Structure 1
Amino acid sequence: MTEEKNKMDFIQLLGPDMSVKILTHLDAPCDLIRVSAVSSSWHRFVLEHGLCKQLCLAMFPEISGVTHMIELDNIIEPLGNTPGSCVNWEYLKRNHKVYAFLSSGLHPVRKSCISKAISASSTDNYPEESILHTLEPGDRTEYTASYWSSKGENDPSVPETLVYKLVSEMCLVTEIHVQPFQAFFQHGLPIYSAKAVRFRMGHPRYPIESESAVDNITANEVLGDNQFIWTYTSPEFPMCQENSLQKFNLPKPFLCIGGILLVELLGRVQKQEMDELFYICISHVQVMGRPLSPAFDVKVHHPSGKCTLKYHPPPTDPHMSSTSSPDSSSSSRLRIITSSLVQRGVRRWEQILLGALLGSGPVVVDD
């Protein structure tokens, strides 16, 4: 093979269709970043074919219906996608960044996706039977019972609700676990489960500007539905009258944007012997899902429900002046990257650009 053929770009050799088929078999965001860092032509090819978006949707197909709400740099409305225009190229570049960040920013599945118990529709004895106790696994702490209890009702159809804040403003929820409480201190060891359970997820109705009005709500406050906008409602799941952590798998994983979960407890099955009233008691609630990395932040905009996805990379230079402006620091990073490329040669592009993209701040790719 001649030296000229040896240098041929395989994307040009195979053609766009076959190249896309090959590159869509990559299963990690960092692999596509490496591909886009090989050369300016490969970078353009990855962006023009939306390969980061395809990978992100392949990893998390459940976000396909809401990705139009994911924006960058405080831009609420998407840029116009006009083929062949400068605006179109900016649109492609922004999509590339957003989907690369998003696909690498969702943590592996974890069992503790609840950060705070916000409110219960009623509480029998506060704080002894507060919703706060549902965050602890099990039904007792040392020698004390640990559970939430509703107020008693004559009508067994009266529902109850529990509201929680998730660990991230964007969390991919896969299943929710609920454990009814068995009163081991009462005659007959009654279990105060609900007949059925349903889940809603959404965000506060009004944007939260500071360290959260939600964080300042006490667990004894009762919040109405007008406080939140629910973007997802699960089917009803029957609940067994058993003292066990019952698992409820959602039909499809749901990307909760806004980080609020509502547990609806529908119907009562157990009377308390001493007052002949129906109660619901829960000892533990658990959410399994993939929270967004702490380096990301999501802000929901009222009243449309659209959101802004922001990326906040941690600082890597301890000697960087705290008074430096964002623009000057970004320019400095770009100059450092460019200088490094010149000094270290083309073979170092991959490590430098990948490290800058995922670790030290936003990257402006100069073809």
Structure 2
Amino acid sequence: MEVRLDFLDLLQPDMSRKILMCLDDISDIVRASAVSRCWQHLVIENGLSKQLCFRSFPHLSRVASIVEVNNSEVNGNKEVACSSSRDSKSAQRDHRVYAYLAHASTSFLMRHCISEAIIASSTDNEPEESINNTLDARDLVARRASYWSSKGQFKPDVPETLIYKLVSNLCVVYEINIRPFQAFFQTGLPIYSAKAVRFRFGHLTHVIDHRSDLVGESHCGSAKETFIWTYTSPEFPMAQESYLQRFKLPEPVLCIGGILQVELLGRVQRQETDALFYICVSHVQVIGRPLSPAFDIEILEPSWDFILKCNHQAKASNQLSMLENEPRTILPTYLGRRVIELRQIVNMLRGNVVQGEDYAWGEDEDDR
């Protein structure tokens, strides 16, 4: 009979671990654990799937413990929490959960991830120029321009912030897209963009019962007490042009807590009537992979560590819900945006100047 040797048996455990840590795909690590009992023991006992997750998303180091939940326990409001000690069962549990998390972070469907607008640092005219308008990609809603506007400032370096709630407490975010507002009803068609933009991800410091609990500029002034930011992006320059500008993050970011802050840094455009600087935004879009209901978190006070909850049975329902929502959320918005831009191009080619009510494409525009 042919004699076959496992090369890992010929190496020291540390060298074997270093070799397997060169794998950068969770599928390869799972396959490695299925080669033999020896390989499975090496993968699980060394927590290789956990280390891969930590490599991709360093903020997972704040996981205090892991809870595995199944659908029947959720319906009965019961959860099964495993010990966080490094015994054999907890090591196997960690392997299951982190391998599933790594898989979900690259395989769950991409989509628009904003659930609702929370608060803006200032608003010029409420509710006509509310932050809520930035959730709609249309230029006109009910025959009115749809945008958010800051209050005017004498100094151009005064920043503004927009805060949003994402659709999941755990989202892998790839890019944020922002369209500055062009005031088609003002002389010269000025564009009120910011000079630069920066993004923060994090979570609330406490549970709120209603969105109204955060409304009011006093909350923006006390943002340090209201939000904990776990990630801050580099600054991105913003063009003074009215199109959906794409800001791709250097690496995919796991947003822990489902809160996004958009920092608009510096002002470019003065308003002719009052000579003040404003920032105005038409639309904000976040592209990523929501990980709920397969994963959720529970924030612990005062350490701000968190419990990671995993429901392995939720994958099918997650994908189904994404497929059901995708045609209604992204596709019409995308097509609507393209139709509006094509109409603008046609008008320009015909030599038409779009101003005031002539900018409306028709009442059926508002019904889409």
* TM-score, structure 1 normalization: 0.69
> Which residue in the other structure is 1:306 paired with?
305
CA contact (8 A) 1:296 1:310 kept: yes
Q: Displacement of 1:18 after TM fit?
A: 6.5
Structure 1, 224-233 or 19-28: larger mean CA deviation: 19-28
> Residue 47 of structure 1: which of 35, 44, 49 is its match?
44
Partner of 2:160: 160
Between the aligned partners of 2:231 and 2:314, the Cα distance in structure 1 is: 36
Q: CA deviation at 1:274?
A: 2.1
Evaluate the alpha carbon distance shift between residue 153 and residue 268 of structure 1 in structure 2; reply closer, same or farther with a 3 A threshold.
Answer: same
Alpha-carbon RMSD: 3.4
Q: Which residue of 2 aligns with 1:69?
A: 63
Alignment of 1:177 onto 2:177: yes
- 2:204, 2:259 within 8 Å by CA — same for their partners in 1? yes
Partners in 2 of 1:42 and 1:240 — Cα distance?
52
Cα distance in 2, alignment partners of residues 237 and 160 from structure 1: 15
Change (3 A) 1:19 1:123: closer
Code of the aligned partner of 1:270: Q
- Give the CA deviation at 1:39: 6.7
Aligned with 2:185: secondary structure?
Answer: coil
Aligned positions of 1:4-19 closer than 5 A: 10=6
The equivalent of 1:188 in structure 2 is: 188
| Cα offsets for 1:148-170 (capped at 9, x unmatched) | 01122233332211101112212
CA gap of 1:25–1:229, structure 2 versus 1, over 3 A, is closer
1:44 aligned partner, one-letter code: H
Distance 1:76 1:240 in 2: 51
Match of 1:329 in 2: none
**Contact 2:196/2:266 (<8 A) preserved:** yes
Indicate the residue corresponding to 1:353 in structure 2: none
Q: Which residue is equivalent to 1:230?
A: 229
CA contact (8 A) 1:123 1:150 kept: yes
Deviation at 1:146, TM superposition (A): 1.0
CA shift for structure 1 position 308: 0.8
Q: 1:103 to 1:216 in 2, by over 3 A?
A: farther
CA distance in 1, matches of 2:87, 2:159: 51
Q: Distance in 1 between matches of 2:111 and 2:186?
A: 31
Matched position secondary structure for 2:182? coil
Q: Say whether residues 1:99 and 2:98 are aligned partners.
A: yes
Q: Write the distance in 2 (CA, Å) between the matches of 1:20 and 1:198.
A: 37
Contact 1:71 1:98 in 2 (8 A): no
Work out the CA distance in 1 between the residues paired with 2:91 and 2:266. 50
- Give % identity: 51
Q: Distance in 1 between matches of 2:133 and 2:38?
A: 57
Q: What is the CA–CA distance in structure 1 between the aligned matches of 2:218 and 2:82, rounded to whole Å?
A: 33
Report the CA distance shift for 1:269/1:258 in structure 2 as closer, same or farther (over 3 A): same
Contact 1:123 1:220 survives alignment (8 Å): no
> Residues of 1 paired with 2:90 and 2:230: CA distance?
27
Unpaired stretches in structure 2, ≥5 consecutive residues? 68-79, 316-368
Deviation at 1:191, TM superposition (A): 0.7
1:243-290 Cα distance to aligned partner (Å, 9 max, x none): 112222333333221111111112222222222222111001112233
Q: Which residue of structure 2 aligns with residue 84 of structure 1?
A: none
- The SS at the match of 2:274 is coil
Shift of 1:309: 0.6
Q: How far 1:200 sits from its partner (Å)?
A: 1.7
**Partner amino acid, structure 2, of 1:64:** P
* 5+ long unaligned stretches in structure 1: 80-86, 317-367
Change (3 A) 1:214 1:301: farther
Is residue 275 of structure 1 aligned with residue 274 of structure 2? yes
- Following the alignment from structure 1 to structure 2, what is the Cα–Cα distance between the partners of residues 274 and 302? 49
Confirm or deny: 8 A CA contact 2:66 2:84 kept in the other structure. no
Q: Is the 8 A contact 2:147 2:282 kept in 1?
A: yes
CA distance in 1, matches of 2:47, 2:160: 45
Higher helix share: 2
Bigger shift: residues 180-189 or 153-162: 153-162
Cα 1:180–1:111 change in 2 (3 A) is farther
Equivalent pairs counted in the alignment come to: 297
Contact residue 182 and residue 243 of structure 1 kept, 8 A:
yes
CA offsets, 1:289-317, max 9 Å, x none? 3322322111121221211110134489x
Q: Greater CA deviation, 278-287 or 170-179?
A: 170-179
Contact 1:124 1:151 in 2 (8 A): yes
Q: Distance in 1 between matches of 2:191 and 2:241?
A: 7
1:89-119 deviations in Å (ceiling 9; x for gaps)? 3452242133123112325463512111100
Q: CA deviation at 1:220?
A: 6.0
The 8 Å contact of residues 122 and 160 in structure 2, kept in 1 or not, is answered as yes
Write the distance in 2 (CA, Å) between the matches of 1:234 and 1:18.
Answer: 36
Q: Which amino acid aligns with 2:47?
A: G
Give the aligned partner of residue 199 of structure 1. 199
Q: 2:209 aligns with which of 202, 213, 218?
A: 213
After superposing the two structures, state which structure 1 stretch, 191-200 or 246-255, moved more: 246-255
* 1:154 to 1:22, Cα distance in 2 relative to 1, 3 A: closer
- Per-residue CA shift, 1:64-98, capped at 9, x if unaligned? 3533526302979953xxxxxxx443452242133
Q: Offset of 1:231 from its aligned partner?
A: 1.9
State the one-letter code of the partner of 1:161.
Answer: T
| Counterpart-to-counterpart distance in 2, 1:287 and 1:172 | 10
- Secondary structure of the 1:116 match is strand
Tell whether the 8 Å contact from 2:50 to 2:94 is kept in structure 1 after alignment.
Answer: yes
The aligned counterpart of 1:143 is 143
